[in-house]
């Protein structure tokens, strides 16, 4: 089961630097990042090569973090690729709670990271409809 880390931080200079320094010192490589400002505070989501270790390092440094289950699904890197995914999820009454994506090098695919409430059902629906999901090993070795 794959995970990313959600981090609650103050929205001020140096906070993100502190997080990345903790990860660098623990030899943890970030694969993707999403930053959302909520005024004085923000949420940073990171996909790393070793989420358990990263989570423990952040917590031991008094950083408010959560380890969250994710699914990474591949979609075609062309107009409508994301729409096709959303259409299947909508037809099956599956709500995306959070998402971000990135393009895979040397491929014509985009990796879409999704958090959903109905985790096992979502995985089953996507596989049944021909979507490729990345395994933990594939995710962490990106």
Report the alpha-carbon distance of residue 69 to residue 64 in Å, rounded: 17
Domain boundaries, the chain: 2-69, 70-140
Tokens of 8: 């609650």
CATH 3.30.2130.10 fits 2-69, yes or no: yes
CATH class, domain 70-140, is alpha beta
Query: What is the per-residue pLDDT for 125?
Result: 97
**What is the DSSP secondary structure assignment for residue 54, as one 8-state letter?**
H
pTM (2 decimals)?
A: 0.88
Going from the first residue of the chain to its last (142 residues), give the mean pLDDT of each consecutive group of 10, the final group possibly shorter.
92 93 96 90 94 97 96 93 95 95 84 92 96 90 78
Report the alpha-carbon distance of residue 3 to residue 55 in Å, rounded: 10
Report the alpha-carbon distance of residue 129 to residue 88 in Å, rounded: 8
Query: What is the per-residue pLDDT for 38?
Result: 84
Beta strands in 11-128 (DSSP E): 30-37, 41-48, 64-76, 96-103, 109-116
């Amino acid at each position: 089961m794959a995970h990313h880390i959600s981090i609650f931080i103050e929205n001020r200079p140096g906070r993100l630097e502190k997080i990345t320094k903790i990860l660098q010192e623990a030899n943890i490589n970030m694969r993707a990042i999403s930053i959302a400002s909520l005024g004085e505070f923000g949420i940073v989501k990171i996909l790393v090569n070793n989420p358990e270790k990263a989570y423990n390092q952040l917590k031991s440094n008094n950083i408010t973090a959560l380890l969250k289950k994710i699914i990474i699904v591949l979609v075609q890197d062309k107009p409508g690729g994301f729409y096709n995914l959303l259409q299947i999820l909508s037809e099956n009454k599956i709500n995306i709670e959070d998402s971000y994506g990135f393009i895979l090098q040397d491929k014509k695919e985009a990796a879409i990271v999704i958090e959903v409430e109905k985790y096992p059902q979502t995985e089953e629906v996507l596989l049944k409809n021909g979507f490729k999901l990345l395994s933990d090993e594939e995710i962490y070795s990106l």
